[in-house]
Amino acid sequence: MDLHHRLFGTPTAADDDARWAASGAMALTGSEAPSLPPRSLMPVLRSLETELAARTAELGLRVELDAAALLGERSAIAGLTRRGRTSCGGSARLLPARDAWMAVALPRPDDLALVPAWLGTDDLASGIETADAGELVEAAALLGLACGRLGETSASRPAVRWQRHRAGPSRGIVRDALVVDLSALWAGPLCGHVMTSAGGRVVKVESASRLDGARRGPPAFYDLLHGGQESVVLDLPDEADRLRAVVRAADVVIDASRPRAMTQLGIDVDDIAEGGTVWVSITGHGRDGEGAGRVAFGDDAAVAGGLVAADDGGPVFVADAVADPLAGMVAAVAALDRFAAGGGWVIDVSMARVAAWCAIDPASAERWSGPVAAPQARRAVASAAPAGRDTARFLREVGA
């Protein structure tokens, strides 16, 4: 059985509702009352736990995670709670367009400044309710805004796709493998966190002009994802040649940018994979096709995949930016799987497609009447390294 079917083909267990309530994720789902997620979500989370434990045990240090509880760790640290059709973090909203529900994420000041150019008005709700959802998505993509039409991404394509570029011997252990993490925020760093926990040597690489935005959030959450890792900061794009040397030295690269970002830095991902590197690409809507250039965050990508709960007024968000941690866990399993297989690979993990596979069975109309636990977060193993602490030493090591 291939990895995709192992993750997304597990039957539902009878105790899923109780486990969802106990995980802390239910406390983040719904509006006034907590809501149940799509029936297919919990089986995927259980499969992820099983695969992560099995793969890490085979390749290094066994990593056991409560996948449902992971969905609430950021909220537990930041003190966030459910807000119905507003995301836990407050930057995304679910709004009705003329023909469908839309999720719009505007986390950056520049995003808010672009709303009048997008809608012809600075009133988000009124501008969306009179417009066609498909046209809104197309216009948002051109402006670099993150939005998704409810259910626009189907489960007709696999959530994870990969292409082998170079055959090689099976690699028996991930301990001390060099993992270069170019990603930011949550999905990619969670993948890197799993690799660190499994014994990998993870080096976080950031641009001096654009450090990981998560550094501006709660330090405890950043420490949780990046404790025990090295930190390198490069002056990009001026030091793109050094970045090319860094990724060529890596056994695994984690990347969460749109494909054109690497091209603009002169990095050919397929060529890097030909050298034997496993390149993990996490995007909102996939590496190719019409969605390759779209910006996405965890909340809008989840809605695009149809991963929502419901109350009497319509769809509501599931947990906190749920497509982010889901994609991060899926990417970690896929990276470990392809690392073990040997050779060079490009792994394509789409947050919207992961969400679509987690939403095949719709949410229950029933209401939960039992106890609901608050979200909890694990303790970080160590404080994250200050930005750029290891730059000079690491660049010397890889000849850059």
Q: What is the mean pLDDT of residues 182-188?
A: 97
Task: State the pLDDT at residue 355.
Answer: 97
Q: Which of 193, 218, 226 is nearest to 383 (CA)?
A: 226
| Cβ contacts of 109 within 8 Å, gap of 6 or more | none
Residues 142 and 158 in one domain: no
Task: State the pLDDT at residue 198.
Answer: 95
Residues 125 and 186 in one domain: no
- The three-state secondary structure class of 219 is helix
135 part of a folded domain: yes
Q: Which of 103, 91, 79, 102 is nearest to 28 (CA)?
A: 79
Residue 96: left if φ>0, alpha if ψ -120 to 50, beta else—which one? beta
85 part of a folded domain: no
Confidence check: pLDDT of 14 > 60: no
Residues 140 and 288 in one domain: no
- Does the N-terminal peptide bond of residue 218 adopt cis geometry, omega within 30 degrees of 0? no
Banded pLDDT at 266 (limits 50, 70, 90): very high
Which residues are registered as beta bridge partners of 231? Answer: 204
CB 181 within 8 A of CB 203: yes
Q: What is the mean pLDDT of residues 147-167?
A: 92
Instruction: Please tell me the distance from the alpha carbon of residue 137 to that of residue 38, in angstroms, as a whole number.
Output: 24
Residues 162 and 41 in one domain: yes
203 part of a folded domain: yes
87 part of a folded domain: no
Task: State the pLDDT at residue 10.
Answer: 62
Q: What percent of the chain has pLDDT over 90?
A: 84
Q: Which of 29, 385, 24, 378 is nearest to 221 (CA)?
A: 378
Banded pLDDT at 172 (limits 50, 70, 90): confident
Out of 148, 178, 196, pick the residue that ends a domain.
148
Task: State the pLDDT at residue 1.
Answer: 60
Residues 74 and 44 in one domain: yes
Residues 193 and 62 in one domain: yes
CB 72 within 8 A of CB 24: yes
Q: What is the pLDDT of residues 249-263, one digit of tens each?
A: 999 999 999 989 999
Of 40-44, 133-137, 163-167, 294-298, which gets the smallest average pLDDT?
A: 163-167
Q: What is the pLDDT of residues 16-69, one digit of tens each?
A: 889 999 999 999 999 988 999 999 999 999 999 999 999 999 998 999 999 999
Residues 183 and 316 in one domain: yes
Instruction: Please tell me the distance from the alpha carbon of residue 350 to that of residue 157, in angstroms, as a whole number.
Output: 10
Q: How far out from the chain centre does Cα 250 lie?
A: 21
Q: Which of 69, 52, 68, 75 is nearest to 331 (CA)?
A: 52
Number of domains in the chain: 2
Residues 259 and 140 in one domain: no
Task: State the pLDDT at residue 13.
Answer: 61
Residues 175 and 307 in one domain: yes
Task: State the pLDDT at residue 11.
Answer: 55
84 part of a folded domain: no
When the pLDDT of each residue in the chain is averaged and rounded to a whole number, the result is 93
Residues 135 and 263 in one domain: no
Residue 344: left if φ>0, alpha if ψ -120 to 50, beta else—which one? beta
Task: State the pLDDT at residue 12.
Answer: 58
Instruction: Please tell me the distance from the alpha carbon of residue 25 to that of residue 38, in angstroms, as a whole number.
Output: 13
86 part of a folded domain: no
242 part of a folded domain: yes
Task: State the pLDDT at residue 151.
Answer: 96
Out of 148, 174, 196, pick the residue that ends a domain.
148
Which residues are registered as beta bridge partners of 314? Answer: 311
* β-pairing verdict for 160-166 and 344-350: antiparallel
Banded pLDDT at 362 (limits 50, 70, 90): confident
Task: State the pLDDT at residue 312.
Answer: 85
75 part of a folded domain: yes
- Residue range(s) defining the domain that contains residue 363: 3-79+153-397
Task: State the pLDDT at residue 289.
Answer: 85
Residues 142 and 159 in one domain: no
Out of 148, 166, 185, pick the residue that ends a domain.
148
Banded pLDDT at 284 (limits 50, 70, 90): very high
Report how many helices (DSSP H) and strands (DSSP E) the chain contains, helices first: 17, 12
Residues 317 and 387 in one domain: yes
